[in-house]
Amino acid sequence: MGYTIKEAAQKTNLSIHTIRYYDKEGLLPFIDRENGARVFHDYDIAWLDLISCLKTTGMPIKDIRELAASCNDYETFVRRGLDILHRHKEKVEQHMRDTQRSLETIDYKIKHLPQMYKDKFAGLERA
């Protein structure tokens, strides 16, 4: 089944403008065209979802473009595409560990800050 760009935008929660931008940037090498109009298939929707995931997790457009280019050939994808995804996964995992440490610091401050400032202000009142 083929979808229009409007339908693809609705299915992926992306704007039509964003999808056109991704196409212009070479991130959608598989898109079919009929009479000049883009026609999206289920695998294109899945690809757009992957692009959204990668963008949300901080992958630069140039790396997504490289991943898209590697998908034209199975051997290249296995060698290069999976390497790109593994490296990105490691970056995301490190970011998650860093974020978890930050969250723990915030939780600590929420728990202890009132008492710390109560003690500080009590000391000022005595002065």
Q: Give me the domain span that covers residue 77.
A: 5-126
How many other β-carbons are positioned within 10 Å of the β-carbon of residue 50? 15
pLDDT (tens digit, 9 = 90+) per residue, 60-97?
A: 999 999 999 888 888 888 889 999 999 999 999 999 99
Question: How many structural domains does the chain have?
Answer: 1
pTM of the model: 0.80
What's 85's domain CATH number? 1.10.1660.10
Enclosing H/E stretch for 39: strand 37-39
pLDDT (tens digit, 9 = 90+) per residue, 13-61?
A: 999 999 999 999 999 988 999 998 999 999 999 999 999 999 999 999 9
